[in-house]
């Protein structure tokens, strides 16, 4: 097993009403997506481990968003912050905080979903594709610009997950 990790240290504050911890699997590396993500022109994608390792610092401090209906991304509905990213085996595992007091209805909806129902999806800029004609686009360089919480069945990678501390 190979581990790469980065984190922003935020001091713990027991019982903070607006900072509720979460964790999840944002994506898997070196594996083709189950379906084409938005922006990939119908192509499935594969994020290389090397590209993910180099891009880990770009995840820290980025926002987590959601869309009503939990079926995609909405970069204007930022509800939390990514503070840690770890590559553990093939999984890109993230954690951070949701602003539960600022968005109580969203926190309530998250808790109402079955634990296995929610997943995650990454948001990118400056992606480099090895061969644009390939059936599966191999991403060799990326900059992470955020992440979304959505239904796992709507995620490009079904092996993602999301859990909010209750």
Residue-wise pLDDT tens digits, 58-90 = 999 999 999 999 999 999 999 999 999 999 999
The values of phi and psi at residue 56, to 5°, are -50, -45
pLDDT attached to residue 1: 61
Report the pLDDT value the prediction gives residue 83, as an integer from 0 to 100: 96
Q: What are the strands, taking DSSP E only, across the chain? A: 3-7, 20-28, 44-47, 63-65, 78-88, 91-98, 118-129, 136-151, 161-164
pTM: 0.93
**Residue 72 · residue 150 · CB < 8 Å:** yes
What distance in Å separates the CA atoms of residue 45 and residue 38, rounded to the nearest whole number? 11
pLDDT beyond 80 at 110: yes
Domain ranges for the chain:
3-9+27-164
Q: pLDDT tens digits, residue range 1-56? A: 666 666 778 888 888 999 999 999 999 999 999 999 988 999 999 999 999 999 99
As a whole number of angstroms, the distance between CA 138 and CA 31 comes to 9
């Amino acid at each position: 097993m190979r581990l790469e990790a980065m984190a922003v240290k935020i001091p713990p504050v027991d019982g903070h009403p607006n900072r509720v911890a979460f964790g999840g699997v944002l994506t898997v590396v070196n594996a083709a997506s189950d379906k084409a993500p938005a922006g990939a022109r119908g192509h499935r994608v594969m994020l290389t481990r090397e590209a993910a390792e180099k891009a880990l610092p770009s995840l820290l401090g980025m926002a987590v968003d959601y869309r009503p209906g939990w079926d995609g991304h909405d970069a204007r509905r930022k509800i939390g912050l990514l503070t840690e990213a770890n590559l553990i085996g093939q999984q890109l595992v993230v954690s951070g905080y949701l602003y539960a007091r600022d968005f109580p209805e969203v926190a309530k909806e998250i808790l109402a979903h079955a634990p296995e129902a929610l997943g995650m999806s990454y948001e990118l800029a400056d992606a480099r594709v090895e061969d644009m004609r390939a059936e599966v686009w191999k991403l060799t360089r990326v900059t992470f610009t955020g992440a979304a919480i959505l239904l796992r069945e709507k995620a490009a990678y079904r092996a993602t997950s999301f859990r909010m501390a209750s």
